[in-house]
Amino acid sequence: MLMLAAALGGLVAPAVARAQTERLAGRLDERTRAAVTALVDSARAAGLPADPLVNKALEGASKGADGARIAAAVRALAGDLARTRAALGRTATEAELVAGAAALRAGATPAFLERLRGDYPREPLVVPLAVMADLVARGVPADTAARSVLALVRTGMREAELVAFRQSVERDVALGAPAGAAAAVRVNAAERDFATTQAGQQPSSAPPRPRKP
């Protein structure tokens, strides 16, 4: 059975690879396509996901970027994916790698990714990483955003709550709060609630959240 699976895998993998790079046909000029295909092949050989790289090239083509810029963007993303995998480990999913690469691009450090993985060893990291990148995009300094996400993770926040946190910050900013302050205030509130529940009391507002044991 294992041999059959391996044999099927050997047949399927080239087909998948072909399908991925065929998405570039007609979207890039020959020179750029060759350059991007080489980058994609080399990333795939290193065990990195190819789809995000193809998507990046297609995004560049869609936005009218020139070939050199597209190739540079794909190369940079491949580098970020590799750095993310080094920080998160080989078990990181494609979505985590993409989210981690976005976080690195936003200003996160590999050390942040490592700490996040250390604090959240078995949970998916896609949402925390995406929230970190999003906070930066909203004007929160990257180090503040990273500290905020780490603090929230330590309070046992789950994905839905992290998404709600992001929305709260977005709303606060829209209402006029400084981005960094909005994040800090929301994190402080979450930590206060966490400390309150740890002490055996209920927080004054919002129902108690599920906590890590």
CB 90 to other proteins: min, Å? 18
> What dihedral angle (degrees, nearest 10) is formed by the CA atoms of 92, 148, 165, 196?
110
CB 24 to other proteins: min, Å? 10
Task: Name the DSSP class of 108.
Answer: -
Note whether 205 binds other proteins by CB under 8 A: no
CA distances from residue 121 to 118, 149, 178 in whole angstroms, order as listed? 5, 15, 32
Q: Is 140 left (phi over 0), alpha (psi -120 to 50) or beta?
A: beta
Task: Name the DSSP class of 201.
Answer: -
- Judging by beta carbons within 10 Å of its beta carbon (0-12, 13-18, 19+), is residue 37 exposed, middle or buried? buried
Two tokens, residue 139: 């004007």
Per-residue binding letters, 6-35, with other proteins (x by CB under 8 A): -----------------x---x--------
Residue 3 or 68: which CB sits closer to other proteins?
68
Residue 82 or 181: which CB sits closer to other proteins?
181
Per-residue binding letters, 105-134, with other proteins (x by CB under 8 A): xxx-x----------------xx--x--xx
CB 122 to other proteins: min, Å? 17
Residue 2 or 175: which CB sits closer to other proteins?
175
d(CA 57, CA 70): 6
Among residue numbers 131 through 190, which ones bind other proteins (CB under 8 A)?
A: 133-134, 136-144, 159, 163, 166, 170, 173, 175-185, 188
Residue 117 or 138: which CB sits closer to other proteins?
138
Note whether 59 binds other proteins by CB under 8 A: yes
User: To which H or E segment does residue 109 belong?
Assistant: none
CB 86 to other proteins: min, Å? 19
d(CA 1, CA 5): 6
Residue with tokens 């206060």: 192
For 102, residues 6+ apart whose C-beta sits below 8 A from its C-beta are 129, 130, 133
Residue numbers at the binding site for other proteins (CB under 8 A): 23, 27, 52, 55-56, 58-65, 69, 72-73, 76, 94-95, 98-99, 102, 105-107, 109, 126-127, 130, 133-134, 136-144, 159, 163, 166, 170, 173, 175-185, 188
